[in-house]
Amino acid sequence: MIGRNLQRAWYGMRGYYPARMEKYRFRVRLEDRKFWRTLASGEWEHHTFRILDSLLQPDSLYLDFGAWIGPTVLYAARQCRHVFCLEPDAEAYERLLSNLRLNRIENVSTFHGAMHTHDGSVTLHNPRIFGNSETRVGSDGSVDLRVAPCLTWRSAMAMWQEPQIDVLKMDVEGAEFDLLPTLKSDLDALKPALYLSTHASFFDATQRKGKMKTIQTIAESYIYRYDRNLKTLELDELAGPDYTDQPSELVLSMVPLSKKAVYR
């Protein structure tokens, strides 16, 4: 206990916690050190960094829907030319900005809000506490609801004056099923690589296969499809229990991906 108190005091004097993400080192908010220790140990989405390594190039433009406090944003900023990101949860967004400032990262453009089907605002709820990674668009019937700005893909691209995105990561806690159909024409035209988290299990069991049909429609337009381990994914697997009965992930690309090593 004494050792931990001394360590905490030392970090407090420095004003940051020294975090490690694979081959990179970062300065992050001291208050979130428990999460960053979990990440450094490999217990938090180790596959995510393998996927980003495979998708991102030094000249890539990367768009992150659902940036949270910044693990994927910080990592991608070291890997590519520029990062654009959105986060609707106000608590998480402020922590994201703090982490960007601590690292003096300048190749990231942020927006406090959600990418959604319309311009304006959306209601947010969280099954536990705002600021964690579970904030969702919509209402769950609770009284603790928040309102956040939202904008469409085309409004976001106009705001950032960016006509092309090379890699798109979407982790929006179930909103992907409403959002993706509105993006289909742009995805068909631009064909960015898509790293998608799916949350069909958030819905009633009778709706899940229908939800995943939306994802199949998007996936049909891409030549290469992979699961979270970068193994080839067949379209009919998206209607199976790995995707309907639990949160899962897939990667879509127009070019084959290599399984680059992730440094430990």
Q: Is position 179 within any domain?
A: yes
Q: What is the pLDDT of residues 47-57, one digit of tens each?
A: 999 999 999 99
Q: How far is CA 204 from CA 84, 134, 210, 217, in A?
A: 33, 18, 11, 21
Residue 17 within a domain: no
- Answer whether residue 139 is part of any domain: yes
CATH of the domain at 196: 3.40.50.150
Would you state the pLDDT for residue 264?
A: 38
Overall domain count for the chain: 1
Task: Examine residue 157 and state whether it is found in any structural domain, yes or no.
Answer: yes
Residue 11 lies in a domain: no
User: What is the per-residue pLDDT across 85-102, written as a single tens digit (0 to 9) for each?
Assistant: 999 999 999 999 999 999
Residue 84, pLDDT score: 97
To 5 degrees, how large is the angle CA 158–CA 139–CA 251? 55
Q: What is the pTM of this model?
A: 0.92
Residue 13's pLDDT is: 59
Q: Is the pLDDT of residue 240 over 90?
A: yes
Confidence of residue 6 (pLDDT cuts 50, 70, 90): low
Express as a percent the part of the chain with pLDDT over 70: 91
- Containing structural domain, residue 203: 45-253
Average predicted confidence (pLDDT) for the chain: 91
